[in-house]
Structure 1
Amino acid sequence: MAAYQALKQRQFRVEPSDQDDHHQQHHLKYATSSLPIKTSKYDQYGAPPTKIHSSFSSNRIIFRAWAIFLSFLAAIVLIMYQIHYALPTPVHESVNPITGQVQFSETNVRKVVRHLSEDIGYRVVGTEQELDTKNYLIKELLQLKEDAHIANLKRQQQPLQPKGVGTNGASQDLEQPWPKFDMWVQVGDGSHRFDFMSKVVMKMYTNMTNIIVRLSCGPECDQNSILLNSHYDTTLGSPGAVDDALGVGVMMEIIRVMSQRPAPKKNSIVFLFNGGEESLQDASHSFITAHELKDQVRAVVNLEACGTSGPEILFQANSRTMIDAYRTVPYPHGTVLANDLFATGLILSDTDFRQFVDHGNLTGLDMAVYKNSYLYHTHLDLDSYMETGLPQHMGENTLALATYLTEEAELINLEKTSSVVFFDFFGQFFVSYSWSTALQIHIVVGGLALLAMATQASRPTLRATVSILFSFMAALILPNLSVIFLLSLGKPMQWFSHEWLSCLLFGPIALVGMFSVQYLFHDKKASTGANELSTFSAVHAFYTICLGLASYTGLASSYVFALYSISSTLGLFFNKFRIAEAKKDGVESARVDYMTYFVASLLPTAYFSFVCFSLLDIFIPLTGRIGVDAPVDNIVAVLTGFIIFVFCPPIMAFTHRFGASMLRKMIVLLLVAHLAILLITSMFISPYNELHPKRVFAQHLKNLTSGESMMYIAHADPGPFYDPYVTELEEMFSTKAVFRSPNNNPGDWNAIYPFNQFLESYVIDTTPYIKTQTQNKTIANTDRPLTDFVHQAPQLIAEKVSYDPKTGHRRLTVLCTHPNYIWTVASFDTHLVSWSLSSSDPFPYHSHYVIRHVGGHVSDGWKLDLEYKAKGPDDKLMIELTAMETEGFGRDQERELIGSGDIGVMRKVLKTRPAWLALTYFGTTVSRFHL
């Protein structure tokens, strides 16, 4: 306190330090206004000091002003971090020991997750693991049904007690019905068109399994049902603990809770455990187009995951009723920003929600776990990496939704709409309102902004407003210079290993761009205070204009601009109030009081920090799977520049506070710091590590037409790949790898079409290795292609072939047999006239077709009727057929050539996989047929 009083009494003046700024001598006369350090009565409001002891004092005050303000911003970020990632404490008991009420238990969910992901493993459609999963779920659900029946019997045997008393914490009124527990196992065939990743895929499926449970109060509840969906299958290369064993476990636990308490009063609830989402949403399509309950379902809640930790987010919603229902959850986390972002297609992902909307005309909510997406669809999607509290978070939210939707919600005549604004307020409560209400709010916000200008609280100039626009552009553009520098060093994706690294690598240069523009636009004819106020006012005008444009286009996410505009408006009114007294003493009124920055920054910085964590959690890991040609460094650089610009709007005005000379010094300091950061990170940081792996795909392909046996190694991002990984494989197999361009060889990865468009491959001939490893002397010494020894290979046969010379149309039935193989892909080029697929008509022109077939365990074949324009009866159709082998999905097995012994090509690749690499591996055959 003594030091504080001493500083109060210190007086100083500042000599001009910049000949180009004749107002520099006054640059501190208001700089420390409202700081805890002030030199006199007048300094508090900006009166000029009278004496100086040294430039050191002024620099110290400037440093302290920046330090306090930046510390304030840092504190906001830390608080928002804690709030953003907070998860509830897990519940271990199935029944509350105090009330006796059944309760949602994370422990029960994890038992399901561990069994599915660890005991069963990779649950790819068509494998034995899929069958094991189906049998396990049926057994567990039947046990839940029996448990509910026993609980009901115990309830009926207990004496009648007053409401609110009893072992389950509910009324012991025996007239209150217990839920009716119905169960179905649906196995179906079908087809649908699936447009994804800018490609058209025709899907066929057979023996696709769904397990369905319904809880209701009887026929009066069954006419209107809410659907709760998750999928129990997994993608290639992943045990799927969070995606989507977590959703399955949550649904099973909700069934346990709801089946042991009074029945729903208004609507029934249908639980769909679908067996084929990763195969491009076949099982959900089968349910919503063919199951007997489809016409009773009015809305859907879908549970998904593309990460392993943090809170799940509501990222798709399409009706006001369902959005309002989300208000009832205890831990809301969702914003229309995610809804609008997902609708753009920038996020290369999709969920079953699409099938329910497109084919069932349903409205609903799509919720997903998304943090730590580095482990998504990899071998690391395990229970051990699922964050503690996550199952409880998703479970309690979903249970609250299920309770409200079955007890209170009106599910009749739900209408789709994208004109609803919704967001959670720091995870504490959920806000939703109509677009008409949003427009009214925006008009009020805009009116207040105009009032601020009319009362001279806001004083934007054209020069300052243009500078804000240019600062925004500079913040987006200049980080790309860092990209050029890093790529010249051969260091792409340096930011990938941690989400926050992008801000460290590109943030300083974005600030340099913003501040440089402000330096160039600093009006040397005006006082420093006038520059400061006009820039602050220009920020206010910028976001108000953005609000108007976004409102005009009907963008629901425009509520963010409203928040920024109103915060600046309040800050400017606060500033007008603060300088009112100083004006009485003759102090310049065209300036910004120091405390104004805290007032104007609090809400925008807090809210954007909260949202920013989600942006980084989604986009940084996503860059590891959007293709080798994607300019991911530039994408992240631009994203980071945007974050820096929006993070604290008033900071551009603050840069003018100490004059142009100090602003120039800050720019130089930021440039030096930025260069140092780039050099240090490029020397000591790798883009990949064990928990932030590079995604690599390995395919052992046997071309039955050419006789080649090849190992394809591909990656899905532009980060380091050939050296060191491919070079290690070359040494392992004693063979040089050959680069394969995806543009010239589009069918190389047809087994995973359409994702194959993002891959770039190197190919290794495995024939020499197989011959040296096999114990079969015939194979070791043969000159025949090794593919000749592959038995029971997939086949295509033409049946019912005919040609009509009048129309020039050739007809045939294509019969495919693929014993012991799963996922087949048929591709061909022709002008189709008709086919037997019921999902859509062929294109009315010559086109390339890709038809994917997936069958549940066991499915050994399919057929397809085709009619196409032919030049004559002998103008046969050339079809390339790719088939995936059933072995190798988590059980360290690979199909062997008959009599050759354990070849182990894929096993060798798998066991030598470096820790920083996530490997998705499978074996395939490819053949060409002229039918």
Structure 2
Amino acid sequence: MISSGSKSIRQRSGGTKIKSPSEDVVYSSKLSSPRRSQPSSVLAPTYMFGLFVLVYLATYGFVMLVERQLPRPLTIQDEPRHPGRFIAERVYNHLVNLTSLGPRPVGSFENEVLAVNFLRKEINNVIQQSDPKVHQIRLDTQTVSGAFPLTFLDRMTNIYRNVQNVIVRVGPVVESAHSLLVNCHFDTVPDSPGASDDGSSCALMLELLRVIALSPTPLQNNIVFLFNGAEEAFLQASHGFITQHPWARNVRAFVNLEACGAGGREVLFQSGPKNPWLMEVYSASVPYPFASSLAQDVFQSGLIPGDTDFRIFRDFGNIPGLDFAWSKNGYVYHTRLDAVSQIPLASLQRTGDNILPLLLNLVNSKQLVAVHQYREGSLVYFDFIGLFIVTLSSTFTILVCLLTLGLVLLSVYINSRAAGEQLAHGSSYAGLLVRCAGFTLVNYVLCLGVNLAIAFTLTKMNRAMSWYGAHLWLVPLYIIPLLILSFSSILFFTHNYLAKFTRFKQSTHSSFYYNVITDSTLLLYSLIMMLLMFTYVGSVMVPLIWILSLSLFSILRSLHPSLSLNPVSSLLCFLLFSLVPYMLCSYLIYCVLLLIVPIMGRSGSGNHAEEVISFLTTTIFSLLFNLMTPCILFVRSPKKVLSSLGTIFFVSILLLVLTPLGFPYSGELSSPTPQRYMIMHVDRVYHNPYSIPDQLSVNSSSTQGQGSIRKAKSGLWLIDLDVNSPKTIDHLISEGSMSVVSEDSDCSRELYCGLPYFLPVYTFIFHTHWIQDRVYTPLGVPLDLKLTYKHVEPWNQVDQSNNT
């Protein structure tokens, strides 16, 4: 090709015919002179791709380093030099004493007697040290019964009897009618000491109570510390407090402390509803922010299988609040490994340093005494890699979104004017934008299909969940195939399809192709942004920051020909503009992976964890890379890039298949990644229906009748909690003795397959196994179940009650 300013003529090898200048130059009808386009020889060296990879990897590594940063914990010896400070060592001592009681399920002696006595003792010690002239402190133990509808998963009516709450109220000497509630729960699931869930929060609250009660500064309003004793039985004790305790009627806002992991940083993952002043106080109070409206959207979407007392206070108390939880190291959550050794002192210090000023600023705020005046409105919020928090009002967010949309339209307008005569006769820039948008969607479907096929193949080969113990496996398994397909698709699309609609006779006009693909992607992302904006979804900030940064880059590049004609400068400028949004997204993605990956180990084998992670990874990184992958058009030798990525992929697959490197589980006590099993010995006794009327009085003598036994069997019930269950223990089970419960005839005839599901989770945990006893072995504790009420509704819904 001949280009003005070039001192050499580049010929294609292989004897290709040299094209005449008239085939390579676009002429202007006005000036009748050549309009210079980008020379094919001016492309960026391939090592620029390596530079991009290094910069982005370094950024991700920096994000990982930031996530692990925790403050220095204070010890009891440090207290004289830090009066009024939160002391992590005291929290640790409380936690050791509480977890030494062992597992504390609701109704157990450890929970109802020992834990309650421990809390009352520590609280009374604080009361004795406090100054009654400064603070009025009252302690109460509530025993409560009640019921409420549970809308979680399969739904049920949650009925509870005689659950306990230990409650402390700290307030000014002149009693206030306004209170702030802070909540934890001290009960645990069976067989877990519950150090993180939620013993750590209760230990934190004991230290918060001590610091506040011993402070010489009186509070303007009350703080109610609720140590609730029945959360794991689905939020019972918090319901009993908020609906029946006399102190509840004065609660104006709340702070809930939870955990779905051990250690790390506490994340603010729910706020509101409405009441933006809560987030404003949070952003002004905490020294180590970690909050995201994206986390709130993810949790409230139902993707996370769990719930907290936040729902109870919000739905039954009509109270706004803030919901905090530790989310790192979810591998030990609800297991016997949830011990004190998993929780670093620095995590306790960080949480205390955040929650203490937050409580003080909330309880002394003007908004607390007039919540109704500050109720309306919502905020989009996120922290920038833990350094500071950004809060945007809904009105300001709309204005920024509209401004960003205007920048996108300006970029499209400038590029369409510049395209002008480069388009073939009958083609339009708008038409190319539509075709490129369609290409982007087709490319996503292609990448998703390939990655799902990889996931399905790995599952069939018993190589699933390699990423469970090492997130790094996600890169060669799903991210690299995504890049290979995206790069290849862009090169094929531009050189073999898009070129048909231009006057170019060669396929190396990278600048034009880059502009049209990027403009179409920006328009697609703008559509997503506007949909999120109009539906008031807090995640709008993710596409917003990308669109804002890269639309500015596109405009700058269009207005400066030196950038558009120099691919090296274009790539470096792109790298600069993309660094901030990439850093923010890397931070969010890393935090999401820390939460989601351990959940795959307890989400049930029927939920196809490998395919779920494949889908999430493909979707997240497609959205992340769609504005980056067109840069391959500026690289001189894309084949080298593709071959390098392909080599990494195939070597990784060989290592995964032929070596034990991809084994997902580890019993290392310092950082365990265990496989979970729930195994129960079950005695299943089936009775014939009672021959009683459809509607029966509770006092009727007919309730004393017993239905005859039609069959009985006993055995081991294996509840499969991940996709590799029970294959990892097949060799321990006699051949032919185990069957899949979902294929059992009982599932077609019996409620919940005739199995003792303690919670309504059949639609979630439905794939289980049964090992039949060779000889029927009834349990040692016989149960006498009596029907007391039964009513059949016209739509065949059956309401019935039973007593044991």
- Report the Cα offset of residue 471 of structure 1: 3.2
- Report the Cα offset of residue 506 of structure 1: 0.9
Q: Is the aligned partner of 1:763 residue 2:724? A: no
Counterpart of 1:435 (choices 391, 394, 397) is 394
> What code does the residue aligned with 1:67 have?
G
> What code does the residue aligned with 1:329 have?
V
**Counterparts of 1:444 and 1:464, CA distance in 2:** 24
1:74-109 superposed Cα distances (whole Å, 9 cap, x missing partner): 11111111112322111113764335x121111111
1:386-416 superposed Cα distances (whole Å, 9 cap, x missing partner): 2341111211111111110122241123466
**Counterparts of 1:306 and 1:476, CA distance in 2:** 30
Q: Is the aligned partner of 1:132 residue 2:110? A: no
Q: Which residue of 1 aligns with 2:648?
A: 673
In structure 2, do the counterparts of structure 1 residues 848 and 380 end up closer, same or farther at CA, with 3 Å as the change threshold? farther
- Structure with more strand by fraction: 1
- The 8 Å contact of residues 243 and 304 in structure 1, kept in 2 or not, is answered as yes
Counterpart of 2:307 (choices 347, 350, 355) is 350
- Report the Cα offset of residue 720 of structure 1: 4.0
Q: Which residue of 1 aligns with 2:692?
A: none
**Counterparts of 1:533 and 1:553, CA distance in 2:** 30
Tell me whether 230-239 or 700-709 shows the greater mean CA deviation. Answer: 700-709
- Report the Cα offset of residue 127 of structure 1: 1.0
In structure 2, do the counterparts of structure 1 residues 762 and 634 end up closer, same or farther at CA, with 3 Å as the change threshold? closer
Q: Which residue of 2 aligns with 1:506?
A: 478
1:212-253 superposed Cα distances (whole Å, 9 cap, x missing partner): 0111003442x1111000000001232111000011011111
Q: Which residue of 2 aligns with 1:740?
A: 741
**Counterparts of 2:105 and 2:367, CA distance in 1:** 38
Q: Is the aligned partner of 1:611 residue 2:588? A: yes
**Counterparts of 1:751 and 1:476, CA distance in 2:** 35
- The 8 Å contact of residues 95 and 102 in structure 1, kept in 2 or not, is answered as no
Q: 1:768-917 maps to which residues of 2 (within 5 A)?
A: 786-787=777-778, 790=780, 793-797=782-786, 812=788, 830-831=791-792, 845-848=795-798
- Report the Cα offset of residue 22 of structure 1: 9.2
Counterpart of 1:494 (choices 466, 471, 474) is 466
- Report the Cα offset of residue 795 of structure 1: 2.9
Q: Which residue of 2 aligns with 1:701?
A: 682
Q: The residue matched to 1:371 in structure 2 has which SS?
A: coil
Q: The residue matched to 1:624 in structure 2 has which SS?
A: coil
Counterpart of 2:168 (choices 213, 218, 242) is 213
> Could you list the runs of 5+ residues in structure 2 that have no partner in the other structure?
1-5, 22-36, 420-428, 686-708
Counterpart of 2:446 (choices 460, 474, 485) is 474
- Report the Cα offset of residue 468 of structure 1: 3.1
- Structure with more helix by fraction: 2
Q: 1:138-217 maps to which residues of 2 (within 5 A)?
A: 138-149=120-131, 177-197=133-153, 199-217=154-172
- Report the Cα offset of residue 687 of structure 1: 2.4
> What code does the residue aligned with 2:256 have?
N
In structure 2, do the counterparts of structure 1 residues 760 and 545 end up closer, same or farther at CA, with 3 Å as the change threshold? closer
- The 8 Å contact of residues 503 and 640 in structure 1, kept in 2 or not, is answered as no
- The 8 Å contact of residues 194 and 334 in structure 2, kept in 1 or not, is answered as yes
**Counterparts of 2:437 and 2:595, CA distance in 1:** 32
Q: 1:262-277 maps to which residues of 2 (within 5 A)?
A: 262-277=216-231
- The 8 Å contact of residues 471 and 515 in structure 1, kept in 2 or not, is answered as no
Q: Is the aligned partner of 1:571 residue 2:529? A: no
**Counterparts of 1:136 and 1:145, CA distance in 2:** 14
In structure 2, do the counterparts of structure 1 residues 760 and 553 end up closer, same or farther at CA, with 3 Å as the change threshold? closer
Q: The residue matched to 1:637 in structure 2 has which SS?
A: helix
In structure 2, do the counterparts of structure 1 residues 448 and 528 end up closer, same or farther at CA, with 3 Å as the change threshold? closer
Q: Is the aligned partner of 1:317 residue 2:294? A: no
> What code does the residue aligned with 2:354 have?
N
Q: Which residue of 1 aligns with 2:247?
A: 293
Q: The residue matched to 1:596 in structure 2 has which SS?
A: helix
- Report the Cα offset of residue 651 of structure 1: 2.3
- Report the Cα offset of residue 786 of structure 1: 4.9
Counterpart of 2:758 (choices 739, 745, 752) is 752
In structure 2, do the counterparts of structure 1 residues 196 and 471 end up closer, same or farther at CA, with 3 Å as the change threshold? same
> What code does the residue aligned with 1:663 have?
P
- The 8 Å contact of residues 483 and 629 in structure 2, kept in 1 or not, is answered as no
Matched residue pairs, number?
718
**Counterparts of 1:377 and 1:13, CA distance in 2:** 70
Q: The residue matched to 2:606 in structure 1 has which SS?
A: coil
**Counterparts of 1:622 and 1:13, CA distance in 2:** 60
- The 8 Å contact of residues 474 and 510 in structure 1, kept in 2 or not, is answered as no
> What code does the residue aligned with 1:493 have?
M
- Report the Cα offset of residue 540 of structure 1: 3.1
**Counterparts of 2:512 and 2:306, CA distance in 1:** 49
- The 8 Å contact of residues 269 and 406 in structure 1, kept in 2 or not, is answered as yes
In structure 2, do the counterparts of structure 1 residues 658 and 113 end up closer, same or farther at CA, with 3 Å as the change threshold? same
**Counterparts of 2:125 and 2:395, CA distance in 1:** 50
- The 8 Å contact of residues 604 and 648 in structure 1, kept in 2 or not, is answered as no
- Report the Cα offset of residue 669 of structure 1: 4.3
Counterpart of 2:347 (choices 390, 396, 416) is 390
Q: Which residue of 2 aligns with 1:63?
A: 46
Q: The residue matched to 1:62 in structure 2 has which SS?
A: coil
Q: Which residue of 1 aligns with 2:613?
A: 636
**Counterparts of 1:617 and 1:391, CA distance in 2:** 19
**Counterparts of 2:733 and 2:333, CA distance in 1:** 25
- Report the Cα offset of residue 503 of structure 1: 2.9
Q: Which residue of 1 aligns with 2:729?
A: 725
**Counterparts of 2:325 and 2:645, CA distance in 1:** 39
> What code does the residue aligned with 1:711 have?
L
Q: Which residue of 2 aligns with 1:620?
A: 597
- Report the Cα offset of residue 478 of structure 1: 2.4
- The 8 Å contact of residues 601 and 649 in structure 1, kept in 2 or not, is answered as no
- Report the Cα offset of residue 570 of structure 1: 2.3
Counterpart of 2:719 (choices 708, 711, 714) is 714
- Report the Cα offset of residue 530 of structure 1: 2.1
- Report the Cα offset of residue 137 of structure 1: 0.8
**Counterparts of 1:653 and 1:695, CA distance in 2:** 43
**Counterparts of 2:16 and 2:339, CA distance in 1:** 63
> What code does the residue aligned with 2:681 have?
H
Q: Which residue of 2 aligns with 1:413?
A: 371
Q: Which residue of 2 aligns with 1:780?
A: none
**Counterparts of 1:647 and 1:104, CA distance in 2:** 40
In structure 2, do the counterparts of structure 1 residues 286 and 536 end up closer, same or farther at CA, with 3 Å as the change threshold? same
Q: TM-score, normalised by structure 2?
A: 0.83
**Counterparts of 2:14 and 2:340, CA distance in 1:** 62
Aligned-residue Cα RMSD (Å) equals 3.2
**Counterparts of 1:516 and 1:453, CA distance in 2:** 25
> What code does the residue aligned with 1:714 have?
I
Q: Is the aligned partner of 1:16 residue 2:5? A: no
- Report the Cα offset of residue 624 of structure 1: 1.8
- The 8 Å contact of residues 227 and 300 in structure 1, kept in 2 or not, is answered as yes
Q: The residue matched to 1:337 in structure 2 has which SS?
A: helix
Q: Which residue of 2 aligns with 1:552?
A: 534
**Counterparts of 2:189 and 2:463, CA distance in 1:** 31
- Report the Cα offset of residue 323 of structure 1: 1.5
Q: Percent identity?
A: 25
1:561-587 superposed Cα distances (whole Å, 9 cap, x missing partner): 11011110222234346534x79xxxx
Q: TM-score, normalised by structure 1?
A: 0.72
> What code does the residue aligned with 1:741 have?
S
**Counterparts of 1:718 and 1:848, CA distance in 2:** 34
In structure 2, do the counterparts of structure 1 residues 133 and 480 end up closer, same or farther at CA, with 3 Å as the change threshold? same
- The 8 Å contact of residues 526 and 547 in structure 2, kept in 1 or not, is answered as yes
Counterpart of 1:337 (choices 294, 315, 321) is 294
**Counterparts of 2:569 and 2:396, CA distance in 1:** 33
> What code does the residue aligned with 1:366 have?
D
In structure 2, do the counterparts of structure 1 residues 589 and 736 end up closer, same or farther at CA, with 3 Å as the change threshold? closer
Q: The residue matched to 1:252 in structure 2 has which SS?
A: helix
**Counterparts of 1:204 and 1:604, CA distance in 2:** 48
Q: The residue matched to 2:115 in structure 1 has which SS?
A: helix
- Report the Cα offset of residue 531 of structure 1: 1.9
Q: The residue matched to 1:495 in structure 2 has which SS?
A: helix
- Report the Cα offset of residue 373 of structure 1: 1.1
- Report the Cα offset of residue 604 of structure 1: 1.5
In structure 2, do the counterparts of structure 1 residues 406 and 278 end up closer, same or farther at CA, with 3 Å as the change threshold? same
Q: Which residue of 2 aligns with 1:536?
A: 518
- The 8 Å contact of residues 470 and 517 in structure 1, kept in 2 or not, is answered as no
**Counterparts of 2:774 and 2:107, CA distance in 1:** 29
- The 8 Å contact of residues 605 and 725 in structure 2, kept in 1 or not, is answered as no
